[in-house]
Amino acid sequence: MPEPPRSAGPDDTRVTLVQVAKLAGVSPTTVSHVLSGKRWVAESTQETVREVIRQLGYRPNNVARSLRTRRSKMIAVVVPDITNTFYAVLTRGLADAVDVAGYGTYVCNTDGIPEREDSFLADVVDRGVDGVVMAAGNVTGDVGAGPGGLGVPAVRIGSASDDDPHVDLVAPDDEVGSHAAVRHLVDRGSRRIAIIEGPHATGSGRDDGYRRALTESGIPVDPALMVRGDWTRSGGQKAMHTLMALDERPDAVFCANDLTAIGAIDAAHELGLTVPGDVAIVGFDDVDAATIVNPPLTTVRNPAYETGYTAGELLLSRITGSYAGEGRIVVLPCPLVVRSSA
């Protein structure tokens, strides 16, 4: 093999595919086939080409490739709160699923603001992403003809939309999981069971499971015991103070997510209440912090990694054209995890 040229410095022209081909003694087309994996190339030739790539520090020109193939090899994921570890783990699952196909991901954090969510959707499509995963619960679909009309494949996390017939959905079995959580509270003797819900128009499955468990147990659904949170720890803390100010306090609280539940535990401690002695608390998601809060949180496991990974697989099948049919729905189980808070 000839001696490689001097490594390019910061002011030098970047190494080209043609230079790699010349040093490896093959055609530029062969180098391209080695990089893409789309054509058969003898193993010995592949090894030679890869060794030259390492020597020269060659990096493919992704901008030029995207112009040629009309693919950016990038996927956007729209989330409401990246500081919530549920979404961080979901994004990791998505990244692992699409990485094997050479796709990268970037995260759009919206803080749960619908206008920002719609703005991000429009922006990422303008930037030429190959697909979008929408994990933000408030996306209104007012971009074009809705997410199904964005011009790129899209997958929703958690909630369906009637105007998205070609958008796939990955959803936790919220209703079954929340039903199990509330029945657990009933079985341990609680009768005045409150719920700290998510914001309006979110988490309806979790609300439904709460109501069904109470009704099946012969316990009336009391609107005074149903208060709104905002999926945050501070929101849970505030809502818990509201519940504990009632003339008849609840003896148990089901929280629509773990951050809310951790905030509820904070409030219980501030009020001098013991958990679960004075009030039992159950969450939903099973984030990492659920095991280190005091007391460790009984919760429903929402499979964040599996959700992201499944969304990535569904998205890739549409990007590659291996599937082009009606929207698919994948529902993932959400088992109850019993710890010390209830």
Identify which of 231, 245, 254 has the alpha carbon closest to the alpha carbon of residue 273.
245
The predicted-structure confidence for 34-56, as pLDDT tens digits, reads as follows 876 667 888 899 999 989 988 88
pLDDT along the chain (342 residues), means of 10: 47 72 88 74 90 84 51 85 90 94 89 79 78 72 45 82 74 95 98 93 85 97 96 96 97 96 98 98 95 97 96 94 91 97 97
Does residue 190 contact residue 280 with C-beta atoms inside 8 Å?
yes
- What are the tokens at 23? 């040093």
Rounded CA-CA distance 123/150 in Å is 11
Does residue 50 contact residue 31 with C-beta atoms inside 8 Å?
no
Q: What pLDDT shows up at residue 164? A: 64
Q: What pLDDT shows up at residue 240? A: 98
Buried b (16+ CB within 10 A) or exposed e, 293-312: beeebbbbbbbbbbbbbbbb
Residue written as tokens 């128009």?
201
Q: What is the three-class DSSP state of 309?
A: helix
